[in-house]
Amino acid sequence: MMKRKKLIEKKDIIIITVMTLFYAIISFYQLGDLKVPQTYQEFPNSGYHVTISLKKEEVVNKIRYYTGYQLGKFIIMSSLDGKEYQEVDTIDTDSVFSWEEIKVNTTAKYIEFISKSSDSTLGDVQLYGEDDKKLDIIPDKTNPVLDELHLVPDEISYLNSTYFDEIYYARTAYEYTKGIDCYEWSHPPLGKLIMTIPVYLFGFSPFTYRFMGNLFGIFLIPIMYILAKKLTKEKKYAILGALLMMFDTFHFAHTRIAVIDSFQLVFILLSVLFMICYLDTKEKKYKYLILSGIFFGCSISTKWNAFYIGLGLGIIFLIHMIKDYQNKKETIKELLLVFLSFIIIPIVIYLLSYILFPTIMNYDRTILGIIDQTKRMFEYHNNLTASHPFSSKWYEWPLMIRPVWLYTSDTGTDIRRTIVDIGNPMIWWSGIFAFFYLIVETIKEKKKETLWLIIMILSSFLPYLWISRPMYLYHYFITLPFIMLGIVFAMKKITEITMDNKVYYAYIIFVIIFFILFYPVVSGLPVKEGYIDFLRWLPTWSF
Q: Are residues 47 and 26 in the same domain?
A: no
Rounded CA gap, 399 and 385, in Å?
Answer: 24
Q: Are residues 127 and 230 in the same domain?
A: no
Ranges of the chain whose pLDDT falls below 70: 1-4, 325-326, 357-359, 361-363
CA distance 389 to 212: 29
Task: Determine the Cα–Cα distance for residues 259 and 434; give it in Å rounded to an integer.
Answer: 29
Q: CB-based contacts of 474: which residues, under 8 Å, 6+ apart?
A: 250, 254, 259, 261, 404, 421
pLDDT (0 to 100) of residue 183: 85
Same domain, 139 and 249: no
The DSSP H or E segment spanning 319 is helix 307-323
Q: What DSSP state is assigned to residue 341?
A: I
pLDDT at 77: 95
Orientation of helix 425-445 relative to helix 480-498, angle to 10°: 70
The candidate with the shortest Cα–Cα distance to 293, out of 223, 360, 214, 346, is 346
Q: Which domain holds residue 365?
A: 10-32+181-391+445-479
Asked whether residue 81 is assigned to any structural domain, the reply reads: yes
User: 459, 479, 499 — which closes off a domain?
Assistant: 479
Q: What is the DSSP annotation of 476-538? A: GGGTHHHHHHHHHHHHHHHHHHHT-SHHHHHHHHHHHHHHHHHHHHHHT--EEHHHHHHT--S
Identify whether 281 is part of a domain.
yes
Torsions phi, psi of 69, nearest 5? -100, 0
Give residue 131's pLDDT.
87
Domain co-membership, 257 together with 276: yes
pLDDT score of 1: 44
343 DSSP 8-state letter: I
Is the domain of 278 the same as that of 352?
Answer: yes
In a domain, 433, yes or no: no
Number of domains in the chain: 2
> Which stretches within 357-424 are classed as H helix?
367-382
Nearest by Cα to 476 from 435, 527, 443 = 435
Q: Are residues 272 and 329 in the same domain?
A: yes
Q: Could you tell me if residue 420 is inside a domain?
A: no
Residues 142 and 232 in one domain: no
In a domain, 516, yes or no: no
Distance CA 472, CA 403 (A): 8
pLDDT of residue 330: 79
Let me know if residue 290 belongs to a domain: yes
Taking only the tens place, the pLDDT of each residue in 460-476 is 999 999 888 889 999 99
Please name which of 125, 146, 138, 145 lies closest in space to residue 64, comparing C-alpha atoms: 125
Does residue 227 sit in the same domain as residue 339? yes
CA distance 231 to 484: 12
Cα-based angle 504, 477, 352 (whole degrees, multiple of 5): 130
Helix, strand, or coil (residue 258): coil
Assess if residue 517 is contained within a domain: no
Dihedral (Cα; 156, 193, 250, 160), 10-degree rounding: 10
Q: What is the pLDDT of residue 359?
A: 67
Q: Are 64 and 21 within one domain?
A: no
On whether residue 400 sits in a domain, the answer given is no
CA atoms within 13 A of residue 458's CA, in its CB half-sphere: 14
Give 146: exposed, middle or buried? Use CB within 10 Å, 0-12, 13-18, 19+.
buried
- Residues 314, 318: Cα–Cα separation, whole Å: 6
**Cβ(63)–Cβ(125) below 8 Å:** yes
Q: What is the CATH number of the domain that holds 123?
A: 2.60.120.260
Return the pLDDT at 521.
97
Secondary element (H or E) of residue 88: strand 85-92
Contact 429, 510 (CB under 8 A): no
Cα separation, 116 vs 287, whole angstroms? 59
* Same domain, yes or no: 382 and 459: yes
**pLDDT of 41-56, one tens digit each?**
999 999 999 999 999 9
Using CA atoms, how far residue 508 sits from 18, 30, 426, in Å, is: 17, 26, 9
193 shares its domain with 332: yes
CA–CA separation, 353 vs 195, rounded Å?
Answer: 13
What angle in degrees, to the nearest 10, is found between the helix axes of 206-232 and 448-461?
150
Domain boundary among 108, 131, 151: 151
Half-sphere exposure of 436 (CA within 13 A, CB side): 5
- Are 201 and 67 contained in the same domain? no
pLDDT value of residue 380 = 87
CA angle 300, 304, 310 (to 5 degrees): 60
First to last CA, the chain: 60
